[in-house]
A and B are shown apart, each in its own frame.
Chain A
């Protein structure tokens, strides 16, 4: 199987507003695929669709050869055991300490002995540089640390597919470098498929094999980083170079500022 995730003709609406309009996307197996786009363009929504936490309005999503719409409860949970997801907000369990947070999926899904779990958790925490922070509660972590714990938890079960929602936000340059290397290494060493959502264009282009850029309900560009760097599409250039003016809408869709101001006076 070549495409680990295959999205065909996907549309998704929230209260009559299209977030996606008829998009196709293929995520190759064993590669790092980056998804980028302006804030509010629906990247998190897309990851939730792939994890079947949201249902598409139209179109189909296939993960690991299984069409999501046909899965029943048990099959879906079976499939999710092979997925790891790093949430934008971290999503750590506030009543458990860091160690227990990472141990949670192991305790739920395996019958490993206590000492095995201890070893595995320490190894995962070591990877994200937090081995000695195991006793801290989530409330005692900084935003960047919480995100790294969440990453350790997402890879605890050695999944086949990892969805990273902005893993680099709030990291200092050093931990950003470490995390990028970790994402790449995990991908190559374990042969997983990674989907990474990020706003750090330059850094992500360095490690990604394939890039999709979403804006305005559509995919405006796709291809390898080398191809994208040469593409002259004005929308793409504006996004990649971070220019304030250009065709990509910065504003939430609606009427113009002038109209809004006039309405108030009337």
Chain B
């Protein structure tokens, strides 16, 4: 009995410590401003690794999701004789919901797991320790540029996803389902509000970007420095960040719709 209580206590302490370390890491990243001369090239390098290299999967998924939503939407809308409203339907569902969430899930799988594995391996091979001993703080040199690159890349990837998805829906609607392209665009234009629909979607994607990169970097930085430890960190990154994205999405949506 006493042992069980002790185990429970240790479990609790470990969880608090874990969050404490994660919080400390984020604080250090945000608190220390890197110098522009050294920091900027590092940031660009990481935007390339996290953002540009994720482009293909984002564009392909965006096109398919746009086309599928258009097909499904047309099918349902035409039952009510409202198929002319396909443009608004696609634009709203993509900009408000699908764009940020699907981009975030893909980003977690593509960039998040790579980040965790990279940092974990650097730790396991003493690269982070030797950096520390060369008086270079790994949080500033390695973690910070990766964090900011993730925060910058996510909204841009989301905008690209939205654009491609809407264009995919347009292509399918006009060239396949034979809709009128003028009414597709004008109905969309009159139904979509810039501030409420587009900006809110981008705010979501920014929050997801912070959450995913934070989780990935912390999992890598805190990984047990063995092959199993790194494998664990990568898996956890994808699982935790996917759950975090879905949970945050619910909270943000509730707040934005004003149900809170």
Contact = CB atoms under 8 A, between A and B. Distances in A.
Contacts, number: 52
A217 to B, nearest CB: 23
Contacts of B141: 108
Interface in B105-145: 125-127, 129-130, 132-137, 141
Contacts of A58: none
Contacts of A83: 133, 135
Contacts of B38: 108
Contacts of A104: 134, 136
A91 B126 contact: yes
A91 B126 CA distance: 5
A168 to B, nearest CB: 18
B125 A89 contact: yes
A93 B127 contact: yes
Given A92-B130, A108-B135, 7 more contacts: A51-B133, A80-B132, A87-B130, A90-B126, A94-B125, A105-B134, A105-B135
Interface string A63-102: 0000000000100011011011101111111100000000
Interface string A209-231: 00000000000000000000000
Contact of A91 (B125, B136, B137): B125
Interface string A180-221: 000000000000000000000000000000000000000000
A157 B136 CA distance: 13
B127 A94 contact: yes
B133 A80 contact: yes
A233 interface: no
Contacts of B130: 85, 87, 91-92, 150
Interface of A: 48, 51, 53, 73, 77-78, 80-81, 83-85, 87-94, 104-105, 108-109, 150, 153, 157
A223 to B, nearest CB: 29
4 tightest Cβ-Cβ pairs between the two chains A and B? A91-B130, A91-B126, A80-B135, A85-B133
5 contacts: A53-B132, A80-B132, A105-B135, A153-B134, A157-B134
A81 B134 CA distance: 6
A236 B181 CA distance: 90
Interface of B: 38, 125-127, 129-130, 132-137, 141
Contacts of B126: 87-91
Contacts of A94: 125, 127
Nearest to A163: B133
B104 to A, nearest CB: 27
A88 B129 CA distance: 11
B134 A108 contact: yes
B127 A91 contact: yes
A224 to B, nearest CB: 29
Contacts of A85: 130, 133
Contact of B129 (A53, A78, A105): A53
Contacts of B127: 91-94
A105 B131 CA distance: 9
Nearest to A85: B133
A92 B136 CA distance: 14
A92 to B, nearest CB: 7
A77 B135 CA distance: 5
Contacts of A92: 127, 130
A87 B132 contact: no
A51 B132 CA distance: 9
A109 B135 CA distance: 9
B137 A77 contact: yes
Nearest to B38: A108
